[in-house]
Amino acid sequence: MIKLRQMRGRLIGLSKVILSSALLLFITVACEDDESGQNTIGNVLYIDGPSGVTPMSTQTFTASEAGGSISWSVTGNATLGTTDGLTAEVTFGAVGTATVNATGNGLEGARAITINSVDAALLEEGGSTFSNASVNNGGSETITLEFASPLASAPTLAFEGDFTNGTISSNLAEVAGSGMTKFIATITGGTGNGQLMGRMLNVTAAADYGGGVADTIRVDLHAVDNVKPLAKFENPDEVTVVNKGGSVKFMVSASEAIRAVKDSMKLALDYDAGSAGTDTLLLLTQSEDDASVWYTTWTNTADGDGNFTATLDQSTVIDIANNDALWDPATSMFNVLVDNTAPTAFTLTATETDPVDEPRVVDIVVGPEEGGSTVHWIWLPYNSQFLPESPADFEGEGADNAKFVASAGNFKLFYLEVDAAGNYDTNTDGTAKVKRFPALTGDQEEGDKDASIEIK
């Protein structure tokens, strides 16, 4: 009886061990199968990568649970590419299936791949690009339509709606070398104005891509534009005289986006014989943020005095649809004086207009040497030790003829003429040759009271 009970106890214990082991094996296998996804389990080698791909695509797969060297192979509609240790590149073919296999270190794995048909909606991502976005009457441009996947044949393109101010001069044709993914057609503008819209029919994916048929695809074509832009040639800063180193900005502005014929909007600078300048041809460039504005900034390098003319070649200005511009005002030329000679013989007087009654008014009268010059002056106490040495010292002070109220006392003025080109007389050391009123005479020195204007 004792032996029988012991044997039964041993059998019960053995049954529990066997049951536990079986349960553990079931859990282990179940977990491994769940973790592997699409992988077939040999001795558990997990292959990481997509289980669904598009035709002709290339994907990377990784043996993520193995060390050492891995051997790769593929079957079905696929080709094995570069392998590098635990990774492999695989290029897939036509719609169908393929299997990626890997072995190494006693482990095996396989991943089943579905090569899916291309959805017709994917084809509708095909966009359009233009050589130019608009055309005028008789103007022709090409449109390029690009699709995400190769097509079985060239689609059909027709105008959408009632707008007929244009024609499709040629049917859509494949762009050579595109693998049936790019197609071009020629659009010619008519007599009206407006946006051309198109629709594409018979858009079918190539058989290897599943042969999916897209719904009607609508695309923007060229705009037809027969309205000439209103343009203006300008000297926006109104600079009419420059010296050596001075700059002038020339600008073309228009009522719409414009462009240059053959990428060259031309401006000729022609000097007269006396200015010692060199004739040159400038090209205007488009403003970074506004296609309706083109400009160039030119710096004068001429040493002599004289003139030059800036002449715009208006035939080089067109809009996006190739329309010539209408000019307002109808001018294409500006004259600019080149002046490198500083003024030297100029005068200034300052007198109290009424020395008895209040207020005390000082009358400044200047006699500039050049028309267009500015005579700058500074009103100072007679004993001031400030001696201006450059035009910057006169900034914010008085200029030209003026009347102003002054307090009683003794004063002096310093003054300097700056001509329209920015020239001013200089000393041998390059500092400005500033004049004084009243001028020092005899043995007078700066700060002497008798060398001053007395306001009573």
Residue 71 makes CB contacts below 8 A (sequence gap 6+) with 102, 103, 104
The domain covering 120-224 belongs, at the CATH homologous superfamily level, to: Immunoglobulins (2.60.40.10)
Helix (H, G, I), strand (E, B) or coil at 175: coil
The one-digit pLDDT tens for each residue of the chain (456 residues) are 333 333 334 334 434 333 334 333 333 333 344 443 444 444 568 999 999 999 999 999 999 766 678 999 999 999 999 998 889 999 999 999 999 999 988 889 999 999 999 877 666 655 566 666 788 998 888 888 888 889 999 998 888 866 557 788 767 899 999 999 999 988 888 888 888 888 888 899 999 999 999 888 888 888 899 999 999 999 999 999 999 999 999 999 999 999 999 989 999 999 887 666 788 999 999 999 999 999 999 998 888 888 899 999 999 999 999 999 999 988 899 999 999 999 998 999 998 876 666 788 899 999 999 989 999 999 999 999 999 988 999 999 999 999 998 888 999 999 999 999 999 999 998 889 999 999 999 999 999 999 999 988
As a whole number of angstroms, the distance between CA 106 and CA 45 comes to: 9
- 350-365 residues labelled b (16+ CB within 10 A) or e (exposed): bebeeeeeeebbbebe
The tokens for 395 are 């900034």
Nearest to 231 by CA among 319, 338, 132: 319
Query: What is the residue extent of each domain of the chain?
Result: 39-115, 120-224, 230-338, 347-455
Nearest to 339 by CA among 435, 423, 410: 423
pLDDT score for 194: 86
Nearest to 375 by CA among 414, 429, 427: 414
Same fold for the domain at 39-115 and the one at 120-224?
yes
Question: Please, are residues 193 and 226 in contact by the beta-carbon 8 Å criterion?
Answer: yes
Phi, psi of 29 (to 5 degrees): -65, -45
- The structural architecture, per CATH, of the domain 347-455 is Sandwich (2.60)
- The structural architecture, per CATH, of the domain 230-338 is Sandwich (2.60)
As a whole number of angstroms, the distance between CA 381 and CA 360 comes to: 16
Query: Given this structure, which CATH class describes domain 39-115?
Result: mainly beta
Q: Give me the amino acid identity at 25.
A: L
pLDDT score for 17: 38
The tokens for 400 are 């030209």
pLDDT score for 430: 86
pLDDT score for 124: 64
